[in-house]
Amino acid sequence: DQQVKQNSPSLSVQEGRISILNCDYTNSMFDYFLWYKKYPAEGPTFLISISSIKDKNEDGRFTVFLNKSAKHLSLHIVPSQPGDSAVYFCAALDTGRRALTFGSGTRLQVQP
Amino acid sequence: GAGVSQSPSNKVTEKGKDVELRCDPISGHTALYWYRQSLGQGLEFLIYFQGNSAPDKSGLPSDRFSAERTGGSVSTLTIQRTQQEDSAVYLCASSLSGSGGYGYTFGSGTRLTVV
């Protein structure tokens, strides 16, 4: 049973436009959410996070939105740049088990 | 070290053989995690070490998998009698604490191929 779901395996956007990556979760015990970015042959790197007590967190071009009632979060990248092309993983942490649960990832391609 | 180091970076092994994968976390990081990513799949949690506490082994897929962490630092993931479905990239991560409030630092992974 996938507790963190990224239903779009891939996304393609034009440079300069907004990229929106979505993530849904089922476990109401999750209290912290993170996005990771992964380039080929490298480990994932931390991008941005949000606590369940917030509904938005912004860091430069990256903003994460959390809708707890819908159990949904999204990552907005604006403006998108070719260097943003990577696989993005959504991850969640619950209060009891201190290891992240990851989604299956979304491959973002930003076209120049 | 400056980052999480994993070795080997690539391993090809014959079905039925045992393999050992090594992870050297960032110095001072008390929490260490193993994940694996099979082809086309997300990151699957395997095991978690936090300080001197008993590890959380709830993600290990079978009793052929085991891991240890010696001296609170280096960790070894052992897969006995490897099967083709064990082929994946095995990723290790460490963090300053097990509180989860901070992101993990991942290594580059070990790509295991069982032939």
- The string of pLDDT tens digits covering residues A33-51 is 999 999 998 999 999 999 9
B56 contact A CB<8A: yes
Q: For residue B108, which residues of chain A lie inside 8 Å, CB to CB?
A: 41-43
Q: pLDDT tens-digit profile of B97-110?
A: 755 556 789 999 99
Interface list for A 19-38 with B (CB within 8 A): 32, 34, 36
Amino acid at A1: D
pLDDT over 70 at B16, yes or no: yes
Residues of chain B in contact with residue A104, where contact means CB-CB under 8 angstroms, are 41-42
User: What whole-number distance in Å separates Cα of residue A82 and Cα of residue A78?
Assistant: 12
Vertex A49, ends B30 and A92: CA angle to 5°? 70
Give the chain B residue whose CA is nearest to the CA of A10.
B40
Q: Dump pLDDT digits (tens) for A62-112.
A: 999 999 999 999 999 999 999 999 999 999 988 676 788 999 999 999 999
How is residue A45 written in tokens? 């790197």
pLDDT tens, position by position, B79-91: 999 999 999 999 9
